[in-house]
Amino acid sequence: MHKIKIKKNDEVLVILGKDRGVKGKVLRIFPAKGTAIVERVNMIKKHTRANPQKQIQGGILEREGPIGISKLKVVCPECGKPTRVGRKRLEDGSGARVCRRCGATFN
């Protein structure tokens, strides 16, 4: 298992697969599986049965499915380009994530 460098609410670009070239916001991360759920990426159809007690209407729902983290690249908020994520130690002793292209720090 590798260290996950993508976090929730990051803007990411899909670099492989059927949704290649699509940008979206990370909604959830599953580090143990090495996957993430990205907004409007890898849409799947889920068939649901109606349940009147829980006010669930039956039918076919469309929702996001998990996508492998290796297929995602973080988009830097400063330069707006897909980049690798680095780590940098600040003066106060805390660490920060940095863009490998422009060197800007982001959180």
On the question of pLDDT at 46 being above 90, the answer is yes
Sign of CA dihedral 11, 17, 21, 24: negative
- Residue ranges covered by each domain of the chain: 1-75, 80-107
On the question of pLDDT at 107 being above 80, the answer is no
Q: Which CATH architecture has domain 1-75?
A: Roll (2.30)
**What mean pLDDT comes out for the span 73-79?**
96
Residue 98 DSSP label: E
- Region label for 52, one of left (φ > 0), alpha (ψ between -120 and 50) or beta (otherwise): alpha
Q: For the whole prediction, is pTM greater than 0.75? A: yes
What integer pLDDT is reported at residue 3 of this predicted model? 85
What integer pLDDT is reported at residue 1 of this predicted model? 65
The first and second tokens of residue 3, run together, are 């260290």
On the question of pLDDT at 100 being above 90, the answer is yes
